[in-house]
Structure 1
Amino acid sequence: MRSYRRMGAKTRYISTCTGLSAVDHANTKFSKGYDATGVGAVLCARHEFWLAQGVGDLQKGEKYVNMDYIFVCAMREYLVVNQLVSYDIACQWAGGLLERITKFPSHIQIPIPEGSISYVIPKLHYGSHIQEGHSPYSLNYRLGAARTDGEGIEHHWWWIQPMASSTKVMGPGGRQGCLEDQWGYSNWCKIVDMALLFRKRLRAARAAYAEQKASFDALTCSLSKENVIKWEAEVKAWEADPYNRDDPYIVVNQGLTELETVHDLAVEEQKLSSVTGFVALHEISLLGFMKMGLELETTQARLKEDAKKATAGKTSELLERRTALCRKVQKFRELQAVYIPQALPIIVETEACRTDVECVEDIRLTLLSEINPAHRDTKYKIKNVRHQGPNTRTRTEISKYENRKLRAVSQYRRARRAKLALSGPGDWKQEFRVLRDDDVRGLEDDDPGAVAQRAKRRHDQSKVGPAEGRQQMSWIWRASDSSSNSGIIDSLCVEWLKSRARVMCWAEECKLIPEEMRRVLASHAYEENAWFSRATMRSLVDDRLHEGLVAYAIDQAYIRRALRRKFRAVCAEVVQASEGTLLGSEWQEVEGPEVDLESSSLDDEAAYELDGEDLEPEQYA
């Protein structure tokens, strides 16, 4: 393997996605003098068990050659089942993986049936990737994934990190033995705590499914039946072949953005100016005048916001900004005389329009939308376009750019008032509703009431941010399609699809966890029987050694029996409530085989009973 590793040592992989530091830094990590700069590992994404043969050293970052080798070694025991492989750079790493494996030495290669592996990106890492075309890699939309997040490996890196400094000075054998002991202990802790984990997960899944189902049904009822049928057909076709169909989970902007609006108006103005006999009214065009008015509105809002929290040290800076703004307003007044002469009497007669004041941010600009319809100039055609509010990216970015969000809210409210003044009431009000503070949240943000409830339960305000699977959509992303004349509203379609995916994931979770519980019981029973059989396997040994082997085997068998009893006692009630039917044979009180201690030369049978150190009864209360 070392020779193959040297062959790929100089191979460089160029990232075609965003945020893939594992690719970008694969050849830049300092490694002089080190046999290993870290480890790569393969875990069970569902239950976070370290897999046998699933850990290997890295020599210089996460190079493909290392990760491919570790993946192949771990997968040798799982070739009979389909695999859903989660990796934070899966969109890059998956391409060419099977071809790279064919270049391995023959004794390492594994036969991977075509189509038996699917690739996804862990949920937390997914946000760092480009969104277009990446929905097939999202665990939120993957059929059969339930509520798996794929981030178990990150949890374990954090847990094992304190050992890193200790292993730096160890020899290869001591280092590997130390790490394997830690990982083996981690797996055992998982086995012991499975009853509590599954009970907690099943209760949470049932509650979340009921909540998401109610939200989804309410949203579906508010939509036209034709749209729902069409959207469902499209997403099912995508689920059958996600890599060769258009991504239905990407929002397609239905309205014109600000840049598109400016471009269209510029083209229109250029056509008008090319007509014979056209005379420009001013060196600044009508489009330039409109842009100046909107920019002044934004500048005023920002200055007003900063003035409220300005300290004594910021007074001079605030004064300079007000002076600059005043000059711009005076220039705007000059253009108003050219393009909106009917505004001049209002400006002269209205005290709030005066520019010789200290707080320039409070000056009334007297835009066209602020003028009474009776006073508007009818010789100019004003093109009204839909305002498209800025999309927030993530909850973290919202907190970092809180001021930007507030300015956007103010801009939307001004635009809505302008629309109402220019067009009057109409069907457009069904889509552009009055915006309350609680309505202002991104697609990934939850309802403030639900967030507060979770904060109260968790007693930790820093961990109440909602995940995709628990979203409750704000009305700003639910523009009604009942009166739309322009076809399907893309953003509403995407949100309906996401709501549907959330319901499906929680429904799968409610079905998968009881099956996982049954398999845990079956595994404990199998292990119990296996240890009992091992107690009498080695009879042709020294009596004292034989006594020790039997004692150890029976001790291990009783531990599995105790685990099975505790698991059944902790989880039976919640499973019964979830399934609503009689439980299978694994849940019945059936004891495993016993060992004939008479033939084992053992005098004290009580010595082989579980001493209780591995299981604390109060944990399961």
Structure 2
Amino acid sequence: MTREWTHLHMLKRAGRGHDPRGLSATTPGECALLCPACPHPGKNLVEDWKSYPEEKQFLFALFLAMDANFRLKRKDVSTERKDPGLGDGWSFYCEVEKYMSHVAKHWDMPQERSTCVSHDAVDKPDREARGTASSGIGAVDCARHNMRRPLAVGDLQFGERYINMDYMFFRSVAGTDLVRLIVSYDIACQWHINIWSRMSTYDTEIQMDGGAIQYISFLVSKFHLPAHIEACNLLFSFNLTPHVGQTDGEAPERNWANTNPLAGSTMQMGPGARRDALNAHFNDSNWKRIVGFGRSLLKKTKTAVPEMMVTKAALADMESSLRAVADDGDELDAVETWTVMVQEWEKDCEKPNPYEMLEKDDHLAKIRRELAQEAAARMEKGVEGEKEVFDGMHLSEMLSIGLQLEENQRSLSSDISAMGQHATDDQQRKLLESTGKLRRRIEAWVEQQQGFVPQALWLRRRDDDARARAARSQAVLGVKVQDLKLWLPSEMMRVPGAQQREPGTWCSEELQRMEYRLRVGQANEALDDIRRGLLVRTHLYKYKDKNVRGVKQNTRSKAKIDAMDELIRRSAARYRAARRALVSLGKALDEQEWAVTMRELKDEDTSR
């Protein structure tokens, strides 16, 4: 009864009762409510829209968004013969017979594994398909207005296979006169690679006229893009693509949020009843969006216009700060130069990408990996030195652990300084445990270090003797764990007279060079943390001034800002320690390249 009512309601909305040919004359997708804000040639476009200049053609672009939903499964109950659908292919679901014929015909088509990150829906489809007749559904939506497209929904059998998504995409745009398409898909970086070669093997009915489409862009939705590799973030970003506005490509996700509550009931339905229920839900959702367009677009306009003014002011402020003066006195407009690069790249993607970082600072993790690779290569060749390994530990490992212990000392010192006069028992316990654990780790590391650098033992004994002589005239407490000297090569080079000694007297040049490389990575990493922290802190201040009112909210905002201040302070301390080490190592190794970019960090550089 319910199915009959919703079916008749759909036909009534589509005006099918006035056709003298009867319901059997209903064409595929005719009963689906279309998005009135999307371009429809012959309906809502000017007659000469194709003759508009290139810079205005984006006004007539169709934005599509694809996705799959594995919540909307269907158990293996009933059959198509026992439970056929009403009005097959009249609204959102593809015609079942044609769709399943396409899937069966191309089922054995090989699907390439992802060259980006591992997408489980593609690489491990069996995880979603076990014990189901349908592992989920795929759909194509209007990306800008969150409305389902006609003939653009289909059941999935074995994960998010390309042959399924291809059919929905091509069926959705079949017969269109539009010449520009913007297609969003969370795995577009993989799906689009061989899409045209796959299309050439499909039936003529769903093939796209390549001559008619003048421009098609494949992008990855904004929420999913950060999980992709760096190359995808440069090539498939909405933010770096012209003429897309603030489109995010996440329309299917918003629609799934409305559809997922149906999963519990549709999971138990037969194939026809399930399609009818979902078709009715999609049509109802489209109807609600259509009647609410006026209100929603007005609300969005009221929000967007003030934000546009704020963004324009921020852009002008940033551009003014980027302008510089050349050495010869002529004005060098860096903004104009960069703008030309962007425009050239947008016209021809073979040109240099202005958004791509050509030279990247080496961070500590990368340097450690390189040192490990070099050690492994020497081991394979059998040329590893006897002094490079001691008690199962490699020289580079010993240095890396030393840098980590040094960082732990700074963190412990900061924790002690931050602890108030009235610390709780639990706080004191944690601090004592951390102190004891760090001391034991340092003692174990010192034994390893002395196997590589015997001179470190003499330096420690010298310090012990100095403290013993001082204790004869006054009481001298033991050295705190955070103040223990680790005697890394950079610290040895600061001992008076060390620079005048014969090279290798304190420690080998190889050891100094290893620490030099690690310190460069440590300094680069600390600088990135400082820059990121300053940006976040600026945002927190602006947000607080604009939105925060009342004691409770101000207290929370202050706590977040204080936490960011502490992160910046610790990063600054790490940078200063790395730079101090580079000063001594640079003199010993005659290396001054680091000084070009790593200037002295002053307090005002990180102040508010």
Match of 1:362 among 466, 469, 483: 483
- Residue 157 of structure 1 and its aligned partner are, at CA, apart by 1.5
In structure 1, the residue matched to 2:157 is 59
- Residue 136 of structure 1 and its aligned partner are, at CA, apart by 1.9
Q: Name the CA shift for 1:186/1:254 in 2 (closer, same or farther; >3 Å).
A: closer
* CA–CA separation in structure 2 for the residues paired with 1:94 and 1:180: 29
Secondary structure, counterpart of 1:18 in structure 2: coil
* CA–CA separation in structure 1 for the residues paired with 2:232 and 2:301: 34
* CA–CA separation in structure 2 for the residues paired with 1:199 and 1:81: 31
In structure 1, the residue matched to 2:123 is 24
Q: Name the CA shift for 1:236/1:373 in 2 (closer, same or farther; >3 Å).
A: farther
2:308 aligned with 1:186: no
* CA–CA separation in structure 2 for the residues paired with 1:346 and 1:176: 81
In structure 2, the residue matched to 1:197 is 300
In structure 2, the residue matched to 1:542 is none
In structure 2, the residue matched to 1:250 is 356
> Which shows bigger deviation, 124-133 or 183-192?
183-192
In structure 2, the residue matched to 1:533 is none
CA RMSD of aligned residues (A): 5.0
2:552 aligned with 1:389: no
In structure 1, the residue matched to 2:436 is 319
Identity %: 23
Match of 1:417 among 580, 585, 589: 580
Secondary structure, counterpart of 1:141 in structure 2: coil
* CA–CA separation in structure 2 for the residues paired with 1:24 and 1:435: 50
> Which shows bigger deviation, 248-257 or 185-194?
248-257
Secondary structure, counterpart of 1:53 in structure 2: strand
Secondary structure, counterpart of 2:128 in structure 1: coil
Listed as ranges, the gaps of 5+ residues in structure 1 are: 272-277, 441-448, 450-621
Q: TM-score, normalization: structure 2?
A: 0.57
Kindly report which structure 2 residues correspond to 1:14-413, keeping only aligned pairs within 5 A, or say none: 14-30=113-129, 32-34=131-133, 36-76=134-174, 78-113=176-211, 115-132=214-231, 134-170=233-269, 171=273, 172-221=275-324, 225=332, 234-242=341-349, 244-245=350-351, 247-253=353-359, 257-258=363-364, 260=367, 293-301=402-410, 312=429, 319-329=436-446, 332=449, 338=455, 345=462, 348-349=465-466, 357=478, 359-367=480-488, 369-370=490-491, 374-378=496-500, 379-380=502-503, 384=516, 386=520, 387-389=523-525, 410-413=573-576
**What letter corresponds to residue 436 of structure 2 in structure 1?**
L
Kindly report which structure 2 residues correspond to 1:422-433, keeping only aligned pairs within 5 A, or say none: 428=595, 431-433=598-600
- Residue 111 of structure 1 and its aligned partner are, at CA, apart by 1.4
In structure 1, the residue matched to 2:30 is none
* CA–CA separation in structure 2 for the residues paired with 1:437 and 1:27: 57
Q: Name the CA shift for 1:71/1:364 in 2 (closer, same or farther; >3 Å).
A: same
- The structure, 1 or 2, with the larger RCO (C-alpha pairs under 8 Å, 6+ apart) is 1
Secondary structure, counterpart of 2:231 in structure 1: coil
- Offset from partner CA, 1:43-102 (integer Å, 9 cap, x none): 222233333333333333322222112212221364323111111111111122233233
* CA–CA separation in structure 2 for the residues paired with 1:27 and 1:416: 52
Say whether the 8 Å CA contact 1:50–1:187 is kept in structure 2. no
In structure 1, the residue matched to 2:506 is none
- Residue 165 of structure 1 and its aligned partner are, at CA, apart by 2.8
Secondary structure, counterpart of 1:149 in structure 2: coil
More strand by share: 2
2:551 aligned with 1:434: no
Say whether the 8 Å CA contact 2:409–2:482 is kept in structure 1. yes
- Residue 39 of structure 1 and its aligned partner are, at CA, apart by 2.8
Listed as ranges, the gaps of 5+ residues in structure 2 are: 1-97, 379-384, 420-425, 504-508, 538-559
Say whether the 8 Å CA contact 2:371–2:396 is kept in structure 1. no
Say whether the 8 Å CA contact 1:56–1:66 is kept in structure 2. yes
Secondary structure, counterpart of 1:163 in structure 2: helix
- Residue 341 of structure 1 and its aligned partner are, at CA, apart by 6.6
- Offset from partner CA, 1:123-158 (integer Å, 9 cap, x none): 111111111365121111112222222122212211
* CA–CA separation in structure 2 for the residues paired with 1:368 and 1:32: 62
Say whether the 8 Å CA contact 1:37–1:57 is kept in structure 2. yes
Q: Name the CA shift for 1:404/1:200 in 2 (closer, same or farther; >3 Å).
A: closer
Kindly report which structure 2 residues correspond to 1:517-596, keeping only aligned pairs within 5 A, or say none: none
Q: Name the CA shift for 1:75/1:314 in 2 (closer, same or farther; >3 Å).
A: same
- Residue 343 of structure 1 and its aligned partner are, at CA, apart by 7.9
- Residue 408 of structure 1 and its aligned partner are, at CA, apart by 5.6
Say whether the 8 Å CA contact 2:323–2:335 is kept in structure 1. yes
Give aligned pairs, total: 430
* CA–CA separation in structure 2 for the residues paired with 1:19 and 1:394: 28
- Offset from partner CA, 1:578-619 (integer Å, 9 cap, x none): xxxxxxxxxxxxxxxxxxxxxxxxxxxxxxxxxxxxxxxxxx
Secondary structure, counterpart of 1:54 in structure 2: strand
- Residue 319 of structure 1 and its aligned partner are, at CA, apart by 3.4
* CA–CA separation in structure 2 for the residues paired with 1:263 and 1:24: 30
